[in-house]
């Protein structure tokens, strides 16, 4: 018997609130640059408030809300995100195309891709109804206006005092940059002090939840798994050295879990935890990950914050408490020498133990800037040493030993496919027309 319980439940009716998943992803993206704060959430609130004041259809309202909260998802690189602070934006269509491509990969969000794809198209006295030979969704112009309002408002220490000047700047561009109907609606709602104060409220998430058009929409477990894969694509895209790491950890952990007797639902959750375990690394400078030279003590300390941040974000999602725990515990060790909580064997569940072994094994077999990857047998020998030192679970490592061929086959295949997906994504980054074509294909594919 193992020193922990093993459940054998089949796939169940577990459901996860869509709003929680969306809010968590938006929060994770904001980790890429603290200077942007909650730019996407604030832009979403501005767009939603303007839309509500115009009594738009339920479909338009849901589309503008969902697209606005993700509108800068394609600005994965730090320099791209910093450029979003510039009111006179340049080459903004690149990150818009990338964001659309990302959203088109996830069926639940594919409908937002066309709006995000065009969210930096200027109205230009009506010429902005077309872009790259395609019709521009009207809601894209509302997102663009809201984005620029947020940029002007950002950093103001007296937002009510600054509001008249912001309104004046927006009105000066009515018809040229911005759709005049949306500007008119904004000018009316901007007279309410609450409009401005809500944008910078400490309770922004609660305010958004109160007006979210999908507060009561839940995701089934298989859709949550797709969402986790979507997260992983964003996480892994930041470095070619760790480009397929999350996919490798996810499939390795799931395969081990099955051989340890976990049920279908638990195995799927373990896989989710693998996809999401490095979510907090979005807050770590990419140069730390890419650097071949050793990190300083201060830099190492910063890297160690990532697993706590993973827990902080995933804890926002109701119904995935165990996934959050497993994902955040992948650097904990049985002897208490891990981080960030220095948990010991009595505190670590089976899922957490599996994630720890899967993460170490996958990392050892991968090339890193400071060393080449090692063969599977060598990685296993190193894991055995850690087990003898009392750091990693011997039963989990034994399952990996006994099923190495199956694990390796699954890991190699999963990481190979993830590599193809990432290569395709970045190829689109240098060819916006290819991206636009891909977006249209993905949208029709999921329709």
Segment 56-105, tens digit of pLDDT: 999 999 999 999 998 988 876 534 433 444 544 556 677 888 889 888 87
- Residue 211 and residue 225 in one domain: no
b/e map 241-264, b = 16+ CB within 10 Å: bbbbbbbbbbbbbbbbbbbbebbe
- Residue 207 and residue 240 in one domain: no
In a domain, 27, yes or no: no
Contact assessment for residue 67 and residue 54, using Cβ atoms and an 8 Å cutoff: no
Q: What is the mean pLDDT of residues 190-204?
A: 96
Residue 368's φ and ψ, nearest 5 degrees, are -125, 160
- Residue 209 and residue 305 in one domain: no
Contact assessment for residue 178 and residue 123, using Cβ atoms and an 8 Å cutoff: yes
Give the C-alpha separation, 150 to 132, whole Å: 26
- Output helix, strand, coil percentages for the chain, rounded to the nearest 5: 65, 5, 30
Residue 8 has pLDDT above 90, yes or no: no
Question: Tell me: the pLDDT tens digits for 384-409?
Answer: 999 999 999 999 999 999 999 999 99
Per the structure, the complete domain to which residue 77 belongs is given by 32-216
Q: What is the mean pLDDT of residues 134-149?
A: 97
> If pLDDT is split at 50, 70 and 90, which confidence band does 220 have?
confident
Does the reported pTM lie above 0.85? no
In a domain, 437, yes or no: no
Closest CA to 73 of 3, 22, 126, 9: 22
Total domain count, the chain: 2
In a domain, 246, yes or no: yes
Q: What is the mean pLDDT of residues 242-248?
A: 85
Kind and range of the H or E run holding 17: strand 15-17
- Residue 105 and residue 163 in one domain: yes
User: Does residue 439 or residue 18 have the better pLDDT?
Assistant: 18
Contact assessment for residue 263 and residue 9, using Cβ atoms and an 8 Å cutoff: yes
Q: pLDDT at position 4, please?
A: 37
Give the C-alpha separation, 313 to 20, whole Å: 10
Closest CA to 219 of 102, 60, 109, 323: 109
In a domain, 207, yes or no: yes
Residue 297 has pLDDT above 90, yes or no: yes
In a domain, 208, yes or no: yes
- Residue 53 and residue 83 in one domain: yes
Question: Range with the lowest mean pLDDT among 160-174, 208-222, 274-288?
Answer: 208-222
Closest CA to 342 of 353, 352, 350, 334: 334
Give me the residues paired with residue 16 across strands.
219
- Residue 291 and residue 398 in one domain: yes
In a domain, 350, yes or no: yes
DSSP 172-235: HTBTTTB-HHHHHHHHHHTT-HHHHHHHT-TTHHHHHHHH-TTTT-EEEHHHHHHHHHHHHHHH
What are the Cα distances from residue 31, in Å, to 22, 38, 231, 320?
A: 15, 9, 13, 21
Residue 446 has pLDDT above 50, yes or no: no
- Residue 187 and residue 236 in one domain: no
Give me the residues paired with residue 17 across strands.
218
- Residue 190 and residue 236 in one domain: no
Give me the residues paired with residue 174 across strands.
178
Question: Tell me: the pLDDT tens digits for 415-444?
Answer: 888 888 777 766 765 554 444 444 343 333
Q: Give the SS3 label for residue 250.
A: helix
Domain of 272, CATH number, reads 1.10.3210.10
What angle do the packed helices 404-429 and 92-104 form, to 10 degrees?
Answer: 140
In a domain, 340, yes or no: yes
Contact assessment for residue 70 and residue 105, using Cβ atoms and an 8 Å cutoff: no
In a domain, 334, yes or no: yes
Closest CA to 326 of 446, 228, 436: 228
- Residue 260 and residue 388 in one domain: yes
- Residue 164 and residue 118 in one domain: yes
- Residue 254 and residue 289 in one domain: yes
Residue 205's φ and ψ, nearest 5 degrees, are -60, -40
């Amino acid at each position: 018997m193992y020193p922990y319980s093993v459940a054998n439940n089949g796939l169940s009716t577990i459901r996860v609130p869509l709003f929680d998943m969306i809010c968590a992803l938006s929060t994770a993206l904001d980790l890429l640059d603290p200077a942007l704060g909650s730019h996407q959430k604030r832009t979403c609130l501005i767009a939603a408030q303007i839309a509500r004041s115009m009594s738009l259809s339920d479909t338009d309202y849901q589309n503008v809300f969902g697209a606005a909260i993700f509108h800068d998802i394609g600005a994965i690189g730090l320099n791209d995100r910093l450029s979003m602070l510039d009111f006179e934006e340049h080459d903004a269509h690149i990150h818009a195309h990338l964001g659309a491509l990302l959203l088109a990969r996830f069926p639940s969000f594919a409908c937002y891709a066309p709006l995000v794809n065009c969210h930096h198209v200027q109205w230009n006295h009506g010429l902005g109804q077309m872009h790259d030979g395609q019709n521009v969704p009207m809601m894209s112009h509302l997102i663009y206006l809201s984005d620029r309002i947020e940029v002007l408002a950002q950093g103001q220490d007296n937002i009510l005092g600054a509001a008249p000047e912001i309104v004046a700047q927006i009105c000066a561009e009515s018809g040229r940059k911005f759709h005049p109907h949306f500007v008119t609606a904004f000018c009316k709602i901007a007279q309410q002090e609450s409009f401005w104060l809500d944008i910078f409220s400490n309770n922004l998430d609660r305010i958004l939840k109160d007006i979210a058009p999908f507060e009561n929409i839940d995701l089934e477990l298989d859709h949550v798994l797709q969402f986790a894969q979507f997260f992983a694509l964003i996480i892994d895209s930041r470095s070619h050295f760790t480009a397929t790491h999350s996919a490798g950890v996810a499939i390795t952990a799931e395969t081990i879990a099955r051989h340890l007797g976990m049920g279908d639902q638990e195995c799927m959750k373990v896989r989710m935890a693998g996809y999401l375990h490095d979510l907090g690394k979005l807050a770590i400078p990419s140069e730390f990950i890419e650097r071949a030279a050793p990190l300083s003590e201060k830099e190492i300390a910063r890297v160690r914050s990532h697993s706590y941040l993973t827990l902080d974000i995933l804890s926002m999602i109701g119904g995935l408490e165990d996934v959050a725990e497993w994902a955040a515990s992948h650097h904990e060790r049985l002897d208490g020498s891990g981080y960030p909580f220095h948990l010991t064997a009595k505190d670590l569940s089976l899922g957490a133990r599996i994630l720890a072994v899967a993460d170490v094994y996958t990392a050892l077999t991968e090339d890193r800037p400071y060393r080449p990857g090692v063969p599977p047998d060598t990685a296993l020998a190193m894991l055995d040493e850690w087990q003898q030192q009392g750091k990693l679970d011997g039963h989990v490592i034994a399952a990996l030993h006994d099923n190495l061929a199956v694990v390796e086959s699954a890991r190699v295949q999963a990481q190979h496919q993830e590599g193809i997906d990432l290569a395709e994504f970045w190829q689109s980054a240098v060819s916006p027309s290819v991206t636009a074509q891909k977006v249209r294909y993905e949208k029709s594919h999921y329709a």
